[in-house]
Amino acid sequence: MIKFDEFEFVDGGVCAAAGFYANGINVGVKKGSTKKDLAIIYSDVKCNAAALYTQNKVKGAPIIVTQQNLKDGKAQAIIVNSGNANTCNENGIEIAEKMCELSAKEMDISKDDIIVASTGVIGQPLNIDAIEKGIPTLVKSLSASGSLNACQAIMTTDTREKQVAVEVNIQGRRCYIGGISKGSGMINPNMATMLAFLTTDVAINNEMLKKALKRVNDITYNMVSVDGDTSTNDMVCIMASGKANNDEIIKEDSDYETFVGGLYAVMMNLARETARDGEGATKLLECFVIGAPDDDTAKVIAKTVISSSLFKAAMFASDANWGRILCAIGYAQAEFDISRVSVELASDLGKIVVCAEGSGINFSEKAAKQVLSADEIKILIDLKDGEGKAVAWGCDLTYDYVKINAEYRT
């Protein structure tokens, strides 16, 4: 069990950890747009680094380049653009490598120590000229308070910035873990989320860093679904500078568990906000599954329910159509006894049991509608068949989701 409630949230995002700087500016990746569209995160020392990537067979060119650059487990900077995914482009690899070369030259570091990412429309040519002209300005204005600018520069259809940082105590030293992320559509991660960039000043070796990232990712970003589509550019990466000067974490001891807890606090909150900011969403949905035979069963059921389009549409209408929940539970790829299942719907406006022992029970539709009219809804599922548990996050499915995606390229 990951413990994460003893950490203090702090300001700073990816710059909360010692030695990290960031910035984001507008360079005109999309002509006519005035939004920030190019971001950089830089460490003043080379870091241990790890990343997870989309499982989509179609991968953006930046992922291929980043995978190559991270083979040695080292990185010192991240360069990322929004407005164009640089995916399915004939010269995509060349452009991604050029972004690394240009950034490296300005920062006087190796191009192989750069993580590169892109997000936006798939299959559209990306002209490197605007990025090339903007990188010198971007680098010159790197700042220890630049996390918000970087966060804004990676947004596409996002309606709110997503950045979090926490302070953790390791060996009596104050250490920090922070992150920014983007994503509100094409979200059904099979690794991470669209783009998430994490930084820490904790000294931790590559093996433990990779293990921690995967462990936490499996119960945070991998438990989010907005629309069931897995992006081509999904990436979550972390850089660890070691500047907290703790004894390096080299095994799964109490210091490692403290680090994992802090990482969970950051990634869980970023993942939760990703679900809340789903395209066109009006409600955050949290599905809690308890009493499962094991945690894996609970995870499968929670993610299946939160991914159901029929259920998500019912939540938009504040309709306690619990049969859609049972339907989703029933087609989840897991083994359990449906005759024991109970379902309760809850929010700050109350709670109501809609199913017990696998069957519907009488309840007030009026009271249920009141509960579901809140902007955060909890779906509580008890399988009554063990100690396994999990939580997944999603959002309602609205008319605006269709509108946003029907007009995405225009």
Asked whether the beta carbons of 313 and 396 are under 8 A apart, the reply is yes
In angstroms, the CA 408 to CA 410 distance is 6
Query: What would the two tokens of residue 338 be?
Result: 């449906």
Residue 356 CB neighbours (<10 A): 14
Tokens 């679904």, located at residue: 225
Q: How far apart are the first and last CA of the chain?
A: 46
Say which of 54, 66, 193, 200 is annotated catalytic. Answer: 193
- The strand pairing partners of 41, in sequence order, are 22, 78
Residue 323 CB neighbours (<10 A): 14
**Residue 321 CA neighbour count, 13 Å, CB half:** 16
Question: Where are the extended beta strands (E) located within 54-123?
Answer: 74-82, 114-119
Residue 375 CB neighbours (<10 A): 12
Write down the H helix ranges in 189-252: 206-218
Residue 183, exposed/middle/buried by CB under 10 A (0-12, 13-18, 19+)?
buried
157 labelled catalytic: no
Residue type, 303: K
DSSP label at residue 246: P
Sequence-distant (≥ 6) Cβ neighbours of residue 181 within 8 angstroms: 154, 162, 163, 193, 194, 195, 196, 197, 236, 270, 273, 274
Angle between helices 206-218 and 254-276 (to 10 degrees): 40
Q: Looking at the annotation, which residues are catalytic?
A: 193
